[in-house]
């Protein structure tokens, strides 16, 4: 078992008499990609905000890398659904903001390098209002990545995007995760999205998702997905794949957890309250 | 095209005014025709009287505004950012705010005598409250998500204030300043009619003593033009400072 990134122990959260979370236990190992899936109002964002340190649990405790969470920290970088880019800062200023706070002299250069990587080259001097939703979310992602945080907390980050943009952002995120191996907690109400990002079967069909055929728009038939799963089990096959990254992810990937959408299999803390 | 239409409308209004004055034989002491006002305005301009009055008035507006806004801005930022300070000071602000600056004229003269000091006091009072209220509201309504994002990126309190709360409040602060300078311009005319013996406000009151209606109108038109110029400059400054905000409210 690798190092524990997040340990949630018996967390309860009340807002003026309304119980949002009750007796929550959750363990996330370092380097894991975990989706929190549930309907609106079930408390998944509340849990994420508590992990981020924006709110304190009414009782219970949350540990991040063994230390108790008491306040927000750059080590747990948050990506918000509404992007939360500072509209008065240019894209470059937004991305380098955390680095500047840290006193990094090469903040702008690092920001520009990240913008290049996220296909935002040439947009550094623009303001967020000049960008499309997908671009804004890429900037928000770049801002979160700028500090090399070991943990990314993502609150329905692609919820406001159109289906095609969302799909390419999901691919982008998986690519980043494969490369940087952060611990990612991803809140979503999209069953499909959660299955795509954190597969309950062990993320085995990741390689087929990233295949060129898929990018060209031809949906992968079930057989193809099945084939990808076989790929996961035979490391020899991986070497033959053009996308080594996908293969290596499949190898090192820990079993990930997706709380099932059906009520019976849903963990107790996912119970819908007043939704 | 639009400018042409605006000019045409103004020209038509002036023509109607001229025709009415001539056709109805209106006494020039009651309402002089625009041609007479224009002649008087030109005379007022070339003798150097109008430029001197305009400079005196503008100087009072700027000094008064600088004092009023200069006090209101830090106080507003403080009240906006600190809940305790807000609770402490808000009652007295709410009590003083509805009193029109004009109502302070008797006290201003008792305290400061005649001349520029009472004028500065009244004008700064006129600019103070619009700037104060909009600054408080601006800071208090900065979206909590920006505060969270900044905290998440490790921003200490000082950085949070100067890089997030202050720029986030800027649109509101600047629109308050635009209102404030408008009020300052109103107050300066009144103050000049009562406490000072120079400036545009003084001049039109002086002209009344001699039934120089043409000069009254020439002075009024000058006030209008200068007021419009101030507001246009303020709008330009807002536009420049809020590049990031332009069009955001319609997005």
Tell me the average pLDDT across A224-230.
22
The structural domain count of chain A equals 1
DSSP per-residue codes, chain A: ---EEEEEEEEEEEETTEEEEEEEEEEEETT-EEEEE--TTSSHHHHHHHHHTSS--SEEEEEETTEE--S--TTEEEE-TT----TTS-HHHHHHHHHHHHT-TTHHHHHHHHHHHTT-TT-TTS-GGGS-HHHHHHHHHHHHHTTT-SEEEEESTTTTS-HHHHHHHHHHHHHHHHHH--EEEEEES-HHHHHHHS-TT-STTHHHHTSHHHHTT-PPPHHHHHHHHHHHH-HHHHHHSS-HHHHHHHHHPPP-----SSGGGS-GGG-----
Classify residue A235: in a domain, yes or no. Answer: yes
Classify residue B194: in a domain, yes or no. Answer: yes
pLDDT tens per residue, range B132-181: 999 999 999 999 999 999 999 999 999 999 999 999 999 999 999 999 99
Q: How far B229 CA sits from the closest chain A CA (Å)? A: 28
Predicted confidence at residue A33, as pLDDT, reads 87
Tell me what the pLDDT averaged over chain B comes to: 93
pLDDT band at B248 (very low <50, low <70, confident <90, very high): low
Classify residue B23: in a domain, yes or no. Answer: no
Task: Read off the pTM.
Answer: 0.77
CATH number, domain of A189, equals 3.40.50.300
Q: Do B167 and A86 touch (CB under 8 A)?
A: yes
Domain of B94?
A: 55-201
Q: Residues in chain A whose beta carbon is closer than 8 A to a beta carbon of chain B? A: 52, 54, 71-74, 76-78, 80, 82, 84-90, 97-98, 101-102, 127-129, 143, 147
pLDDT tens per residue, range A53-74: 999 999 999 999 999 999 999 9
Tell me the average pLDDT across B189-209.
93
| Set of chain B residues whose Cβ sits within 8 Å of the Cβ of A98 | 153-154
Pick B152's closest partner by Cβ from A72, A102, A129.
Answer: A72
Classify residue B64: in a domain, yes or no. Answer: yes
CATH number, domain of B68, equals 1.10.3720.10
| Set of chain B residues whose Cβ sits within 8 Å of the Cβ of A97 | 150, 153, 155, 163
Predicted confidence at residue B235, as pLDDT, reads 92
How far, in Å, CA of B57 to CA of A130, rounded? 42
Predicted confidence at residue B245, as pLDDT, reads 83
Classify residue A122: in a domain, yes or no. Answer: yes
In order of A147, B140, B148, the CA distances from B172 in angstroms are 32, 10, 21
Domain of A158?
A: 4-270
Interface ipTM:
0.80
pLDDT tens per residue, range B16-53: 999 999 998 888 888 999 999 999 999 999 999 999 99
Classify residue B230: in a domain, yes or no. Answer: no
Q: Do A98 and B154 touch (CB under 8 A)?
A: yes
Classify residue A131: in a domain, yes or no. Answer: yes
Q: Do B148 and A80 touch (CB under 8 A)?
A: yes
Q: Do A101 and B156 touch (CB under 8 A)?
A: yes
Range of weakest confidence among A31-45, A138-152, B69-83, B203-217: A31-45
Q: Do A86 and B248 touch (CB under 8 A)?
A: no
Q: How far B155 CA sits from the closest chain A CA (Å)? A: 6
Classify residue B87: in a domain, yes or no. Answer: yes
Classify residue B5: in a domain, yes or no. Answer: no
Q: Do A71 and B151 touch (CB under 8 A)?
A: yes
| Set of chain A residues whose Cβ sits within 8 Å of the Cβ of B147 | none
Q: Do B168 and A88 touch (CB under 8 A)?
A: yes
The structural domain count of chain B equals 1
Q: Do B244 and A88 touch (CB under 8 A)?
A: yes
How far, in Å, CA of B21 to CA of A275, rounded? 73
Please indicate if any CB of chain A lies within 8 Å of the CB of B91: no
Classify residue A275: in a domain, yes or no. Answer: no
Residues 148-177 of B with CB under 8 A from A: 148-156, 159, 163-164, 167-168, 170
Predicted confidence at residue A221, as pLDDT, reads 33
Pick A82's closest partner by Cβ from B145, B150, B156.
Answer: B145
| Set of chain B residues whose Cβ sits within 8 Å of the Cβ of A72 | 148, 151-152
């Amino acid at each position: 078992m690798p190092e524990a990134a997040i340990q949630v122990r018996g967390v309860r959260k009340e807002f003026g008499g309304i119980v949002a979370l009750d007796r929550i236990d959750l363990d996330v190992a370092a380097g894991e990609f975990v989706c929190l899936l549930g309907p609106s109002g079930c408390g998944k964002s509340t849990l994420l905000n508590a992990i981020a340190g924006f709110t304190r649990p009414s009782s219970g405790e949350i540990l991040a890398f063994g230390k108790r969470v008491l306040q927000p920290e750059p080590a747990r970088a948050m990506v918000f659904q509404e992007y939360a880019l500072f509209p008065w800062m240019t894209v470059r200023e937004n991305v380098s903001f955390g680095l500047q706070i840290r006193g990094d002299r090469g903040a702008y250069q690092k920001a520009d390098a990240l913008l290049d990587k996220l296909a935002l080259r040439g947009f550094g001097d623009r303001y967020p209002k000049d960008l499309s939703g997908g671009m804004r979310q890429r900037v928000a992602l770049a801002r979160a990545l700028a500090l090399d945080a070991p943990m990314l907390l993502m609150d329905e980050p692609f919820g406001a995007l159109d289906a095609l943009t969302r799909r390419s952002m999901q691919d982008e995120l998986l690519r980043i995760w494969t490369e940087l191996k952060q611990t990612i907690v991803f809140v979503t109400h999209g069953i499909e999205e959660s299955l795509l990002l954190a597969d309950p079967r062990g993320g085995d069909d990741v390689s087929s998702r990233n295949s060129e055929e898929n990018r060209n728009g031809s949906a992968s038939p079930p057989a193809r997905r099945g084939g990808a799963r076989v790929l996961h089990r035979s490391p020899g096959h991986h070497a033959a794949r053009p996308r080594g990254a996908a293969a290596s992810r499949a190898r090192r990937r820990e079993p990930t957890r997706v709380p099932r959408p059906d009520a019976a299999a849903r963990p107790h803390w996912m119970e819908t309250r007043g939704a | 095209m639009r400018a042409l239409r605006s000019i045409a409308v103004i020209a038509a209004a002036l023509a109607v005014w001229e025709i009415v004055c001539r056709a109805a034989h209106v006494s020039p002491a009651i309402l002089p025709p625009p041609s007479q006002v224009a002649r008087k305005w030109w005379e007022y301009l070339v003798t150097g009287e109008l430029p001197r009055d305009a400079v005196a008035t503008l100087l009072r507006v700027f000094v008064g505004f600088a004092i009023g806004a200069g006090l209101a801005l830090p106080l507003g930022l403080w009240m906006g950012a600190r809940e305790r300070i807000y609770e402490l000071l808000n009652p007295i602000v709410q009590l003083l705010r509805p009193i029109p600056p004009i109502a302070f004229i008797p006290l201003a003269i008792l305290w400061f005598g005649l001349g520029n000091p009472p004028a500065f006091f009244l004008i700064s009072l006129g600019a103070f409250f619009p700037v104060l209220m909009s600054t408080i509201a601006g800071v208090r309504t900065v979206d909590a998500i920006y505060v969270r994002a900044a905290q998440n990126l490790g921003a200490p309190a000082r950085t949070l204030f100067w890089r997030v709360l202050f720029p986030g409040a800027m649109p509101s602060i600047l629109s308050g300043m635009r209102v404030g300078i408008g009020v300052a311009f109103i107050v300066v005319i009144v103050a000049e009619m009562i406490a000072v013996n120079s400036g545009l406000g003084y001049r039109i009151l002086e002209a009344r003593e001699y039934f120089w209606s043409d000069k009254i109108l020439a002075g009024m038109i000058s006030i209008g033009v200068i007021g419009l110029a101030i507001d246009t400059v303020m709008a330009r400054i807002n536009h420049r400072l809020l590049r990031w905000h332009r069009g955001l409210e319609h997005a």
